[in-house]
């Protein structure tokens, strides 16, 4: 699993992970495991698997480290 940092969370149920690469990775609240979306904070370290959504790359199986 890859690791990154929560860069931004929105009030619409999605956010972005800083992967250390050129682009941030989108994630939806339905991709979270073991944590509620409301408990996420910017700067938290997470692990994830990179997947493919209808609009491009996205994070799946997102877990707080």
Distance CA 17, CA 20 (A): 9
Domain ranges of the chain: 2-64
Residue 38's pLDDT is 95
Residue 1 above 90 pLDDT? no
- Burial label for 29, CB within 10 Å (0-12, 13-18, 19+), is middle
pTM of the model: 0.92
Residue 21's pLDDT is 86
The predicted-structure confidence for 39-49, as pLDDT tens digits, reads as follows: 999 999 999 99
Angstrom CA distances, 8 to 11, 18, 41, 60, stand at 10, 9, 8, 16
Between 2.40.50.140, 3.30.230.10, 3.80.10.10, 3.40.605.10, what CATH number should domain 2-64 receive? 2.40.50.140
């Amino acid at each position: 699993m890859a690791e990154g940092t929560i860069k931004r969370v929105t009030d619409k149920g999605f956010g972005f992970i800083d992967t250390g690469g050129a682009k941030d990775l989108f994630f939806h609240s339905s991709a979270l495991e073991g944590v509620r979306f409301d408990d996420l904070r910017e700067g938290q370290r997470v692990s994830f698997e990179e997947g493919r959504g209808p609009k491009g790359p996205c994070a799946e199986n997102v877990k707080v480290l």
